[in-house]
Amino acid sequence: MTDPILRVDAVQKAYGSHKAIDGVSITVTAGERVALLGHNGAGKTTLMKMILGLTQPTAGRIEVLGHAPGSSVARRKVAWLPEHVVFNRSLTAAELMATFARLKGAPVRSNLDLLARVGLKDAVHKRVGTFSKGMRQRLGLAQALIGEPELLLLDEPTTGLDPVSRQSFYDIVEELAGRGVAVLLSSHVLTELEARTDRVIIMRAGKLVASDRLAELRGQVGLPVRIRLAVRPEAASSVAEQLGGERVNGHRVELLCRPEEKMALLSRITGFGRMVEDVEISPPTLEEIYRRLGGERPQ
Ligand SMILES: Nc1ncnc2c1ncn2[C@@H]1O[C@H](COP(=O)(O)OP(=O)(O)OP(=O)(O)O)[C@@H](O)[C@H]1O
């Protein structure tokens, strides 16, 4: 197995007697998209700030590509996109990118490619003051990508974006992960993360309560799978009774089962032949898993 890009080992961060981070260990490898979830105050931003070297752990150790956060290698290889990006509105996208490239000591000539990669090719010479929120966020991402970072920290990056902008933002993140960039992303919008992350980390009051792939978390929490059937009206009562489900209206039957019972139940459903006209299977959502493990609503 390759060395992780990010290693967080038994890290604590105390503010006086309050432990904002309490014994957290995580790793993120190249090309992995990891979602960092937790209610307000769970410690997500504090963790990101320590990874950036903006604040020091009280105990434990963090390494970025084997280097200390804030060291010159780590600074070059880690990029951060904060929730609210503020730019000088009077500059054009090209001028802003040139300023950031100079600050990072990176070549200005790659900037056009980066702007094209985030879909801002046609806005290169437009003033940032005229940009929509989605365009500003994509410009933020382009700025973060200067210098080809290997670890991308995204703090609630899609706040305030419409569904189409969110989709295109995640498409870019997926493309970056495909090139081997490790991505750690915090968000309160759980529905958008379901299909777009490889692993989910849940924090609660500074502690890690889960870190696994969604499929594994589904198995761990023991929440039921929901199966909805569309049944011919004359058979609805009988089907509901035989399968132990609930008839919800003239031709709908709902069943709950444990994940391991699902296939056997589906085989029984198939046995009803044309009496059952349609089947919809819903595994527990990330929102439901989060509520079970995180213990609180995400917002
Ligand atoms: N500079 C600070 N001084 C004292 N306490 C702090 C400081 N920064 C953070 N905290 C506390 O640490 C805890 C974690 O805060 P943090 O901002 O990391 O949470 P978060 O998960 O990012 O929350 P949100 O979702 O609201 O952004 C909170 O209890 C917060 O009040």
78 and 29 together in one domain: yes
182 lines ligand 1 (CB under 6 A): no
Averaged pLDDT for residues 16-27:
95
84 lines ligand 1 (CB under 6 A): no
Q: Which of 173, 200, 219 is the last residue of a domain?
A: 219
Q: Which of 219, 236, 256 is the last residue of a domain?
A: 219
In this prediction, residue 274 carries a pLDDT of 92
107 and 254 together in one domain: no
Does residue 165 belong to any structural domain of this protein?
yes
DSSP 145: T
Averaged pLDDT for residues 100-107:
87
Alpha helices for the chain (secondary structure H): 44-52, 72-77, 93-104, 111-117, 133-144, 163-178, 190-193, 214-221, 236-243, 262-270, 286-294
77 lines ligand 1 (CB under 6 A): no
251 and 103 together in one domain: no
Does residue 118 belong to any structural domain of this protein?
yes
Q: Which domain holds residue 32?
A: 6-219
Tokens representing residue 164 in the block: 């189409």
CATH number of 230's domain: 3.30.70
Does residue 289 belong to any structural domain of this protein?
no
The rounded mean pLDDT for the chain is 90
Q: Which atom belonging to ligand 1 lies closest to the Cα atom of 39?
A: 25
Cα separation, 33 vs 171, in Å, equals 12
237 and 197 together in one domain: no
172 and 63 together in one domain: yes
What is the residue with the minimal CA distance to atom 26 of ligand 1? 40
Which of 18-32, 99-113, 144-158, 283-297 holds the top average pLDDT? 18-32
What is the residue with the minimal CA distance to atom 2 of ligand 1? 15
90 and 38 together in one domain: yes
**Could you identify the residue written with the tokens 């904002």?**
20
pTM, full prediction: 0.85
Cα separation, 287 vs 203, in Å, equals 14
Residue 200 has pLDDT above 80, yes or no: yes
171 and 252 together in one domain: no
Probe target for ligand 1 pocket from 45, 56, 299, with the most ligand atoms within 8 Å of CB: 45
Cα separation, 53 vs 46, in Å, equals 10
Distance from the CA of 254 to the center of ligand 1, in angstroms? 42
Does residue 262 belong to any structural domain of this protein?
yes
Does residue 294 belong to any structural domain of this protein?
no
Bigger pLDDT: 285 or 59? 59
Question: At 93, which amino acid appears?
Answer: A
Provide the domain count of the chain.
2
15 and 92 together in one domain: yes
Q: Which atom belonging to ligand 1 lies closest to the Cα atom of 206?
A: 14
CA torsion 204-216-7-1 (nearest 10°) is 180
What is the residue with the minimal CA distance to atom 18 of ligand 1? 43
Reported ipTM exceeds the 0.90 cut: yes
In this prediction, residue 1 carries a pLDDT of 60
Confidence bin at 161 (pLDDT 50/70/90): confident
Probe target for ligand 1 pocket from 15, 24, 190, 299, with the most ligand atoms within 8 Å of CB: 15
89 and 112 together in one domain: yes
How do residues 245-278 score in pLDDT, each as one tens digit?
Answer: 999 888 999 999 988 899 999 999 999 999 999 9
In this prediction, residue 298 carries a pLDDT of 44
CATH number of 34's domain: 3.40.50.300
Does residue 292 belong to any structural domain of this protein?
no
Helix axes 163-178, 133-144, angle to 10 degrees: 10
Does residue 59 belong to any structural domain of this protein?
yes
Within a 10 A sphere around the Cβ of 87, how many other Cβ atoms? 18
Does residue 103 belong to any structural domain of this protein?
yes
